[in-house]
Structures are given as structure tokens and as C-alpha cells.
């Protein structure tokens, strides 16, 4: 299906304006699948699962992917700009204000930001708790996660080194399972409202 | 604003962007080490930039605009965002055409499975560094746990984030 690029851009711009609090993925779903009917449900879930594997936020990746699918490379670029522009503009304004007026330690702004940071860390923890039963479903999965945490989180090895060591080992561990024909990506992982980052 | 500086910022964030598997902010520990080490932000500013990133719609990784701005002005901010978001977006667009080939390959299924627990380990590392950078009192340590509990039980993320900010404001008013 092909969609005019201007309509594509506007749809994603609207999503970018309201994607507060990590609801971005759900907003794309609402707009593209339910409202505009540019994609089918199953296609969307598979897209999300694939975009999760890529580096970068799933939200931005999904926008770029759907944009490119519906409007070519230019469509992908426009969709990405659309979802990022509102947040980026606001972020720049906030940053200018921060560096202009400063947030002195002990000031009100600093205190409020401490509270926001605590809540945001709680959000990451809660997301991990939700995912843990599925993500850490076997001994090898727990082991792999632990090795990453110890080398990267505790010992501060460079991320590139950690990934170069653990990704091939991990692929080796899952090589057997990957042979079984599971052609359908896990749809259940596709749509979590707490998608963040 | 100088071009060399901006290029340096772009390359640093391009590297973070390529390596940001597992939801985007998993490379936060390394990002913190590198950009604090480069003198682009202080520890406090890093934590504050992260917190500001929670206020804007879209991915909270937009915080890289803050870090880039601090490092090299407006050009630095745009360079940081470009470096951060480009690798994933280019990959996502490529998938439109490479998908059929990739889903058949055994290595790609193994990769997809392996990345799930690896990204859990990355997330745990990210929580650790964030706690070290921005939670310096027992009060906010408990705050993290309460926020986690509320979100886990299904309370809207926006409310919990706003609540955290409000609580911080009140705390600042009473102690300041």
C-alpha cells in the first residue's frame, strides 16, 4: 500500500505530539492500524518485534520502518522527523532554559528533577519486572543476562567488548532452538504499552 | 561553534546509537562514562538531562539533545540526535526490503532470541548507573521502589512521573 507522503508526515507528527509517558508505540498503533487502516494488525506486531532487535528506540524505528514501507525512503525519513520533531523541539527549549538559568544544587528545579529521575528509574524497573518472566525463562537466559550485568554494569567493561563476547555466545546457545521452525515472530512481545526509550 | 567539535560529538553519539540495543537507553552507563569523562557534562547535569528527557513526548533518548547542546551548542545537539537515531532508523528502513531474506536465516532467529536476555542484563546495568548518578538519599531510593510498584500495578506512567516531580518540588519547598 502506498500513502501520500504529506498525509504520512502529518499522521506521524500527530503521534509525535502526544506520545507522552512511553505510550508512543501504542499511539502509532492507534493511528496507523485503527484510524488510517494503512496496515493490518498482524503486520504491525511483526514490525514491532523486528524493530525491537535493532539498536535505538523501538518507537522511532517503527515510525521509520512504516514510513519507508508506505512511502519509500523519503516516507521513512518524513515519518521519523514527524515523530521526533515535537519532542526534540521541547527538549531543546527545556535544555536552553536549564543552561540559561541553571539548576543550582538544592534549588527547587533540582529537587523536582530528582523526583522525576526517581520515578523514571522506577519505570525502568517495572518494565524489567514485566518482561523478566518471558525474557529469563531458562537457565541459559539467566546466565547470559548475569554475565552482561557483571561485565558491563559492575566491572565497567566497554559495551562493544561485552556485546562482541556475549552475542556470539548467546547465538550459539540458541542455535539449536533457532532451527525449529518458528517462522512467526512472537506476537505477544509486540505491543506493550510501557514501551519506553 | 566549531566543526571539529561537532564532528566529535556526532561520532561519539553515532557509536552510542549503533550499540544501543535493548530499548535504546541500554548504553546509558557507557554514555555517562564517556561524556562525563570528556567534560561535556557534569555528573549532576547528566542526571538532570536524563530527568528532563522524561518530560517530552517521544523517546526519552531525546535527552541526547541536552548532552549535545552542553558539549558543542545547537550544532552539537543536532549532531548528537542524528548520531543516536540514524543507525536504528536506517536499519528499520532497510528491513522493509531485507525482511523476507532475514526471517528465513537461522542466524537471525538465533540472534533475536539471544538479544532478549542480553538486553535484560543491559537494562539492569542501566538501572545501577542511574541510581548511582541520581539517587543520593534514602528518601529517593524508596521513591524509586514506590514508583516501580505503582507502575507495575498499572498506574499511568505520566501520573507517576508527574507525581515524582511534584514530590520533589514539595520537598524542595519544605527543606529549602
B121–A174: do the CB atoms touch at under 8 Å?
no
CA pair distance A140, A153, nearest whole angstrom: 19
Q: Residue B174: what pLDDT?
A: 86
Q: Which range has the top average pLDDT, A99-103, B49-53, B71-75? A: B71-75
Chain B CB contacts of A108 under 8 Å are 169, 172-173, 176
Predicted confidence (pLDDT) at residue A166 exceeds the cutoff of 60: yes
The pTM score is 0.81
The set of cell numbers assigned to B164 is: 515524582
Q: Residue B23: what pLDDT?
A: 60
Band the pLDDT of B147: cuts 50, 70, 90: very high
Band the pLDDT of B158: cuts 50, 70, 90: confident
The set of cell numbers assigned to A62 is: 517503527
Say how far residue A67 (Cα) sits from the centre of its chain. Answer: 16
Output the average pLDDT for chain A: 84
Domains in chain A, number: 3
Q: Residue B43: what pLDDT?
A: 93
Band the pLDDT of A114: cuts 50, 70, 90: confident
Nearest CA in chain A to B67: A95
Cα angle, residue B32 at apex, residues A84 and A60 outer, rounded to 5°: 20
A123–B151: do the CB atoms touch at under 8 Å?
yes
Alpha-helix runs per DSSP H in A102-158:
108-135, 139-148
Q: Residue A197: what pLDDT?
A: 39
A16–B99: do the CB atoms touch at under 8 Å?
no
Among B76, B101, B103, B88, smallest CA distance to B7 is for B76
Q: Which range has the top average pLDDT, A18-32, A141-155, B155-169? A: A141-155
CA pair distance A24, A197, nearest whole angstrom: 9
Kindly state whether residues A52 and A83 are assigned to the same domain.
yes
DSSP-based three-state secondary structure for A26: helix
Q: Is there a domain that residue B151 lies in? A: no
Mutation target vs A (from B15, B42, B117, B168; most A CBs, 10 A cutoff)? B117
Kindly state whether residues A109 and A150 are assigned to the same domain.
no
Chain B CB contacts of A2 under 8 Å are none
B:37-56 residues touching chain A, CB 8 A cutoff: 44, 47-56
Q: Residue A106: what pLDDT?
A: 64
Does A25 contact B at CB distance below 8 Å?
A: no
Q: Is there a domain that residue A185 lies in? A: no
Does A73 contact B at CB distance below 8 Å?
A: yes
Domain containing B78 equals: 3-134
Kindly state whether residues A28 and A94 are assigned to the same domain.
yes
Q: Residue A181: what pLDDT?
A: 56
Percentage of residues of chain A with pLDDT beyond 70 = 87
The set of cell numbers assigned to B140 is: 529517593
Q: Which range has the top average pLDDT, B38-42, B93-97, B126-130? A: B38-42
Kindly state whether residues A76 and A94 are assigned to the same domain.
yes
Looking at the predicted complex, does its ipTM rise above 0.90?
no
* Contact by Cβ (8 Å): A192, B48: no
B52–A113: do the CB atoms touch at under 8 Å?
yes
Chain B CB contacts of A111 under 8 Å are 168-169, 171-172, 175-176
Q: Residue A186: what pLDDT?
A: 47
A:75-104 residues touching chain B, CB 8 A cutoff: 76, 80, 83-84, 86-88, 90-92, 94-96, 98-99, 103
Kindly state whether residues A10 and A89 are assigned to the same domain.
yes
Grid look-up 544501543 returns B20
Chain A CB contacts of B58 under 8 Å are 16, 19, 24, 59-60, 83-84, 86-88
Kindly state whether residues A11 and A77 are assigned to the same domain.
yes
CA pair distance B79, B11, nearest whole angstrom: 8
Q: Is there a domain that residue A189 lies in? A: no
The set of cell numbers assigned to A80 is: 521519523
Q: Is there a domain that residue B58 lies in? A: yes
Kindly state whether residues A69 and A39 are assigned to the same domain.
yes
Q: Residue A190: what pLDDT?
A: 41
Domains in chain B, number: 1
Kindly state whether residues A9 and A45 are assigned to the same domain.
yes
Among B16, B153, B68, smallest CA distance to A55 is for B16
B:86-105 residues touching chain A, CB 8 A cutoff: 87-93, 95-96, 99, 103
Predicted confidence (pLDDT) at residue B24 exceeds the cutoff of 70: no
Does B118 contact A at CB distance below 8 Å?
A: yes
Q: Is there a domain that residue B145 lies in? A: no
Predicted confidence (pLDDT) at residue B69 exceeds the cutoff of 80: yes
Q: Residue B19: what pLDDT?
A: 86
Kindly state whether residues A47 and A119 are assigned to the same domain.
no
Kindly state whether residues A70 and A15 are assigned to the same domain.
yes
**Radius of gyration in angstroms for the set of CA atoms belonging to chain A, rounded to a whole number:** 20
3-state secondary structure chain B: CCHHHHHHHHHHHHHHHHHCCCCCHHHHHHHHHHHHHCCCCCHHHHHHHHHHHHHCCCCHHHHHHHHHHHHHHHHHHHHHHHHHHHHHHHHHHHHHHHHHHHHHCHHHHHHHHHHHHHHHHHHHHHHHHHHHHHCCCHHHHHHHHHHHHHHHCCCCHHHHHHHHHHHHHHHHHHHC
Does B128 contact A at CB distance below 8 Å?
A: yes
Kindly state whether residues A91 and A140 are assigned to the same domain.
no
Predicted confidence (pLDDT) at residue A196 exceeds the cutoff of 70: no
B152–A123: do the CB atoms touch at under 8 Å?
no
A107–B66: do the CB atoms touch at under 8 Å?
no
Band the pLDDT of B145: cuts 50, 70, 90: very high
Q: Residue B176: what pLDDT?
A: 60
Q: Residue B172: what pLDDT?
A: 86
Domain containing A110 equals: 103-133
pLDDT in tens, A35-91: 899 998 878 877 877 787 788 888 899 999 999 999 999 999 999 999 999 999 999
Instruction: Work out the average pLDDT over A107-114.
Output: 83
Nearest CA in chain B to A86: B57
pLDDT in tens, B78-121: 999 999 999 999 999 998 888 777 777 888 888 878 888 888 89
Q: Is there a domain that residue B70 lies in? A: yes
Kindly state whether residues A72 and A60 are assigned to the same domain.
yes
Does B167 contact A at CB distance below 8 Å?
A: yes
Q: Is there a domain that residue A41 lies in? A: yes
Q: Is there a domain that residue A191 lies in? A: no
Q: How far is CA B158 from CA A20, B102, B171, in A?
A: 7, 37, 20
Q: Residue A193: what pLDDT?
A: 38
CA pair distance B18, A159, nearest whole angstrom: 11
Amino acid at each position: 500500500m502506498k500513502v501520500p507522503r504529506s498525509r504520512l508526515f502529518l499522521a506521524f507528527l500527530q503521534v509525535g505530539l502526544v506520545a507522552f509517558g512511553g505510550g508512543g508505540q501504542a499511539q502509532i498503533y492507534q493511528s496507523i492500524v485503527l484510524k488510517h487502516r494503512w496496515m493490518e494488525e498482524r503486520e504491525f506486531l511483526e514490525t514491532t518485534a523486528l524493530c525491537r532487535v535493532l539498536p535505538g528506540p523501538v518507537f522511532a524505528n517503527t515510525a521509520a520502518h512504516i514510513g519507508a514501507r508506505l512511502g519509500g525512503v523519503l516516507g521513512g525519513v518524513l515519518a521519523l522527523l514527524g515523530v521526533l520533531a515535537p519532542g526534540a523541539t521541547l527538549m531543546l527549549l527545556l535544555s536552553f532554559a536549564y543552561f540559561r538559568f541553571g539548576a543550582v544544587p538544592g534549588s527547587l528545579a533540582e529537587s523536582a528533577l530528582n523526583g522525576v529521575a526517581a520515578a523514571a528509574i522506577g519505570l525502568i524497573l517495572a518494565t524489567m519486572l514485566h518482561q523478566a518472566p518471558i525474557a529469563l525463562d531458562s537457565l541459559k537466559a539467566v546466565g547470559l543476562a548475569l554475565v552482561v550485568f557483571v561485565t558491563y554494569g559492575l566491572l565497567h567493561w566497554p559495551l562493544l567488548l561485552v556485546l562482541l563476547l556475549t552475542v556470539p555466545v548467546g547465538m550459539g546457545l540458541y542455535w539449536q532452538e533457532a532451527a525449529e521452525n518458528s517462522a512467526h515472530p512472537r506476537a505477544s512481545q509486540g505491543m506493550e504499552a510501557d514501551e519506553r526509550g | 561553534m566549531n566543526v571539529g567539535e561537532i564532528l566529535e560529538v556526532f561520532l561519539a553519539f553515532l557509536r552510542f546509537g549503533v550499540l544501543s540495543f535493548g530499548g535504546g537507553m541500554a548504553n546509558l552507563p557507557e554514555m555517562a562514562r564517556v561524556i562525563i569523562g570528556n567534560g561535556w557534562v557534569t555528573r549532576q547535569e547528566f542526571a538532570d538531562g536524563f530527568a528532563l528527557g522524561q518530560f517530552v513526548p517521544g523517546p526519552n533518548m531525546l535527552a541526547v539533545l541536552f548532552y549535545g547542546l552542553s558539549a558543542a551548542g545547537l550544532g552539537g545537539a543536532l549532531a548528537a540526535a542524528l548520531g543516536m537515531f540514524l543507525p536504528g532508523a536506517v536499519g528499520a528502513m532497510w528491513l522493509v526490503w531485507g525482511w523476507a531474506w532475514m526471517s528465513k536465516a537461522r542466524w537471525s532467529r538465533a540472534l533475536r532470541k539471544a538479544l532478549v536476555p542480553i538486553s535484560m542484563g543491559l537494562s539492569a546495568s542501566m538501572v545501577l548507573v542511574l541510581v548511582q548518578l541520581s539517587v543520593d538519599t534514602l528518601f529517593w531510593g524508596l521513591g524509586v521502589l514506590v514508583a516501580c510498584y505503582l507502575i507495575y500495578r498499572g498506574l499511568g506512567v505520566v501520573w507517576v512521573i508527574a507525581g515524582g516531580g511534584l514530590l520533589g518540588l514539595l520537598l524542595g519547598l519544605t527543606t529549602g
